Structures are given as structure tokens and as C-alpha cells.
Structure 1
Amino acid sequence: MPRMTLINSARDLSGYLARRFRTPMQRSGRARTAIGGIGARALIVISAASVWPLHAAAAPEPACDIAARHAAALTDVPLSVLLSITRVETGRTEGGRLEPWPWTVNMEGKGHWFDNRDAARAFVHTEFQRGARSFDVGCFQVNYKWHGDAFRSIDHMFDPTENALYAAKFLAGLYAESGDWSAAAGAYHSRTPHYARKYRARFDRIRQTLHELPETGPLPAPRLTETPRRHAENNFPLLLPGAPPRTTGSLVPLGIASRGPLIAQRSGADGS
């Protein structure tokens, strides 16, 4: 049985080829050059093969971004506006990128982030049975108490596409008042100027990172232009209680203070 040689790396292959083709002629410069060329080419081939999968396996587009693209196509809301809003609401840093996360819940003022949809739904359903009614869910943090009647069910509210479309229609109405998307974003959070300004400032910073967005294909993740925040942290949950549903105005009623962060508290957080 022929002896088998285990090759684990480009260096092993290069050495194996050099030994395999070693002959008395190797003392000549030509032979050494030829064998060295074989090893170099083998190294290049293996290096390319090991790097290629990293480029071939592109990261999947975030669910909230897919939903934002769909909502933008069905409304007059610019894609960059929706991408920015969902990042302000549910953004978390992943590999130096700010990305939205659809399985976020603010339950009566306390924020939670879940690994998957089933875990988020199970938590909300348990709390609902307990009697909770004021909670925000999904990519755009829509509140059940004031906007739940626009959806077939809580599960329907969690759906990124439906959640994004509802938020887009609401934003379009706010834009019709001011003619300015930045002002609409501020009003989307609160009609109270103090809270609207803070939200609007963060919205503007994020939107500035989203230049020349493609209409098709994967969306680029926005660059972080500020100090990265703690994982899954969000300081601007939507839809505070305190006013009847379907009023013209913000998802946060006039005069209601912004709550604390959705996921984690930090010193100097916005709101009361």
C-alpha cells in the first residue's frame, strides 16, 4: 500500500511538492526555480480557495431592512427614512455596524430583546394574559394599546412587513403636515418639542450615513458615526400611552415624556 501524506496547509503542500519532485537535477538553479514555482502556485490556489467562501457567503439582509424596502415601494416614504427610523428604534451594533432587530419588545416601560420571533411572541402572549396592554413590538415599535386595532392580531403586529407598512403610512401623514422628513421623524416620536428634537438629531445622524441607497439588491449597513452604544441598546421607544388612538399627531402624545432606553439604562439617557 502506498504511503499516504497528510496535507493540512499550503506550507505542507509546498513542502510535499518539493520533496516529491526532488531529483539529482535539483542542484541546478533551473530545477529549484521550477519546483519553487509549483509551490508558489499551489500556495496561491489554496489561499484563494480559503478566502473565497468569506466573500461568497454574504451576510443576509436584516428583516427590518427588507420590510422597510417593501414599505417604501408601497408608499411615498423614502427608503432612507424608514431605514433610519428602524435603527433609532431597535438598532444594535453588530461587527461595527448599526442594524435593526425585529424581535424587540417594550413591555410597560421595560425593554426586552429576544433571539427569535417565537421567544418574543411567547413573552408578549404571557404578559397579555397577565393583563398587559401597553407594549411596543417589532421593527418600528408599534404600540398595541393605541394601534393594535389596525392589525389582525399581536402576531400580525410582529410581522416586519406589516409593522413597517403601518409605520410608513403614519410617517407619510406627518410629512404631509411639515413637508420635511426630519420634522416628520421627530413628530413620529413625540409632539413635545424637547423629545422630538433629541429623536430628530439621532435620526439625522443615522440618515446621513445612508447615501445613494440602491433600489434593489442587498442594502449597505450604515457606518457608525458616533460612539458605539452597548449591544441592543435603544433610547427612543415609540408609542407612549396617554392619548386616544387615531389622533392626528405623533405616536407619542403631546406632553408625555420619553421613556428610558428600550433595552438598557445608561447615565444621561434621554427622557425623564
Structure 2
Amino acid sequence: MQQICLAFCLIGALLVMPMRLVHARSLDTAAMCERTAELVAGETKVPISVLKAISLTETGRKRDGTFRPWPWTVNMEGAGHWFDTRDEALRYVFREYKRGARSFDVGCFQINFKWHGDQFASIEEMFDPLANGRYAARFLRELYEELGDWTQAAGAFHSRTKIHADRYSKRFASLREGFIEEDRNMAQLRPARIQDTAAISPTRSSQDLSDIPEIPDIVSAQNPVVPPRRANSYPLLIRDESATPRLGHAAGASLFASALARRAEK
């Protein structure tokens, strides 16, 4: 009898273990965006609460019972897609690009390729949480200097159309409340270290699509330097040098806007 009970216990443990591993991997992946927000906040002085609320507004979804951001999120022409891995997201974007798609948002902070892709060496770099976050912080800082208010800056980050910006700002402000305490504790946070950045960047698998070069810091605090073009596995996704869209002039087509549009149609 004891042997039968032991056998059932072992079977149960084997069934539960894979689910726990999947849960742990999901938490680690979601934490990439959160750790990026913390690191970039220290670099740029953009409040942690602002960056975390933007990432959650743009990419948040419930996984394993918690509402968390997700780095492998793509908003393709108004439709949101969450992928389990970076490679899956890259394959999808490449396929849609070949189809003719140009307006799509990627990564922790949903940077739009059509309007901001020329600021990155490749689409692979746009997906990197740190590169994505640093650019988002630079953009938000410029908007804050223009508008003088983080909530308004968040709205403009999403759209320059007032009705869309106002709706987005309300959602952003609500989510930001949950992170305000982290702003107060900013001075007590430990300084960013090299190993912090290693924890944020995705681990490459043996099935990676290409050798992706190290991600440069594309946003310096006072004197931004445009990184040189580098070889990558998606040459069609490198922006044309003649395209120079200005920051803050995108119409905005985030997952939040898509949800509102669908609600309005009902």
C-alpha cells in the first residue's frame, strides 16, 4: 500500500514540476522589462514609476495570474501578439515585413518601427530590452521637457492626437500609482552594475537565428551617438538612411489604442 502511495506521489510531483518551471521562466521573462525600467531610470533620471507604467500599459497581460509586462510583444498594424520567445517574435515580424507591413510596435516599451526604427541598427536591437528601454526613456524625457508633466508626456508617447493621448494618460496614471513608492526609494536602490545588464538581455539558444552583436548604448545623456550599421539576419528591416521621422510625431497604434478602437466599434 505504501509503495502504491509513493508511486502516486512521484507521478504527481513529475506532473507539477514542469508547470512550476514554466511559471518560473514566465516570471523571469516578464522581469526583463521591469529590471530594464529600474536600470534605465538610474541612467536617465526618468522616474521608475513612469517607465514601469508605460511598459505595463503597452505590453501588460495576465500570465500565471499576475499582470506583468512582456518583452516579446508585437503590435502589428493594430493587432497585439505576445510570443513566448524573442525568436518567435522576430520570425513573425520578418514574415509580416515581407508581406508589406511597416507600422508595428515591438518590445518592452512598444517602439514603433515606422517612426523610430531609424534610431536602431536592426529590428533585433529594437527587441533588446535595454536598447528599447533606453530609447523610450530618451523619448519620454524629451516629451517631459516639452510638456512639463509626466502624465502628459506619457500621453504624447502614445499619440499626439488629444483624444487618444487623454485616454492613454488615464490608464497610465492609474498604473503608475502602483509604482510611486519605488520613486521614493530610488536613492536607496543599489547602483547599476554590469551583471544587471547581463540579467536583462535575453539568453541565446542554440537555435538563435543569427549572431547578434553586442548592443551599444544608443542613448547617452548629453551627446547621443548613432551606432554604425552592422550585419544582421534581417537586412530588409534596416531603415533607409534617407528616412528621418522626428520624435513624437507618430500617430500611435499601441495595444491600448487597439483595445479602445475595438471597444468603440461595439
1:86/1:270 Cα in 2 relative to 1: closer, same or farther (>3 Å)? Answer: farther
Alignment partner, residue 209 of structure 2: none
Cα separation, 1, equivalents of 2:170 and 2:260:
18
Alignment partner, residue 167 of structure 1: 136
> Which of the numbers 49, 64, 70 marks the counterpart of 2:33?
64
1:106/1:93 Cα in 2 relative to 1: closer, same or farther (>3 Å)? Answer: same
Matched letter for residue 134 of structure 2: L
Identify which of structures 1 and 2 has the higher relative contact order when contacts are C-alpha pairs closer than 8 Å and 6+ apart.
2
Q: Does 1:192 align with 2:186?
A: no
Q: Does 1:252 align with 2:250?
A: yes
Alignment partner, residue 118 of structure 2: 149
The Cα of 1:71 is off from its aligned counterpart by 1.4
**SS of aligned partner of 1:210:** helix
Q: Which has the higher helix share?
A: 2
Mind listing any 5+ residue stretches in structure 2 that lack a counterpart? 7-19, 191-242
Cα separation, 2, equivalents of 1:132 and 1:7:
58
How far does the alpha carbon of each residue in 1:120-151 deviate from its partner, in whole angstroms, 9 at most, with x for none? Answer: 00111122233322211111111112211111
Contact 2:151 2:173 in 1 (8 A): yes
Cα separation, 1, equivalents of 2:105 and 2:136:
12
The Cα of 1:191 is off from its aligned counterpart by 1.6
Contact 2:104 2:113 in 1 (8 A): yes
Contact 1:111 1:262 in 2 (8 A): no
How far does the alpha carbon of each residue in 1:13-68 deviate from its partner, in whole angstroms, 9 at most, with x for none? Answer: xxxxxxxxxxxxxxxxxxxxxxxxxxxxxxxxxxxxxxxx9xxx895361111111
How far does the alpha carbon of each residue in 1:208-244 deviate from its partner, in whole angstroms, 9 at most, with x for none? Answer: 1113215448xxxxxxxxxxxxxxxxxxxxxxxxxx8
1:119/1:268 Cα in 2 relative to 1: closer, same or farther (>3 Å)? Answer: closer
1:265/1:77 Cα in 2 relative to 1: closer, same or farther (>3 Å)? Answer: closer
**SS of aligned partner of 1:93:** strand
Alignment partner, residue 76 of structure 2: 107
**SS of aligned partner of 2:81:** strand
Map 1:37-116 → 2, pairs under 5 A: 59-60=27-28, 62-116=31-85
The Cα of 1:8 is off from its aligned counterpart by 6.7
Contact 1:111 1:263 in 2 (8 A): no
**SS of aligned partner of 1:211:** helix
CA RMSD of aligned residues (A): 3.2
1:130/1:100 Cα in 2 relative to 1: closer, same or farther (>3 Å)? Answer: same
1:80/1:106 Cα in 2 relative to 1: closer, same or farther (>3 Å)? Answer: same
Alignment partner, residue 263 of structure 2: 269
1:145/1:92 Cα in 2 relative to 1: closer, same or farther (>3 Å)? Answer: same
Alignment partner, residue 105 of structure 2: 136
Contact 1:105 1:111 in 2 (8 A): yes
Taking structure 1 as the reference length, what is the TM-score of the superposition?
Answer: 0.61
Identical counterparts, % of pairs:
46
The Cα of 1:7 is off from its aligned counterpart by 11
Matched letter for residue 116 of structure 2: H
Contact 2:118 2:244 in 1 (8 A): no
Taking structure 2 as the reference length, what is the TM-score of the superposition?
Answer: 0.62
Matched letter for residue 53 of structure 2: S
Contact 2:60 2:70 in 1 (8 A): yes
Aligned length: 192
1:131/1:112 Cα in 2 relative to 1: closer, same or farther (>3 Å)? Answer: same
Cα separation, 1, equivalents of 2:262 and 2:99:
33
Alignment partner, residue 239 of structure 2: none
Cα separation, 2, equivalents of 1:131 and 1:267:
23
**SS of aligned partner of 2:105:** strand
Cα separation, 2, equivalents of 1:139 and 1:128:
20
Alignment partner, residue 206 of structure 1: 175
1:247/1:186 Cα in 2 relative to 1: closer, same or farther (>3 Å)? Answer: same
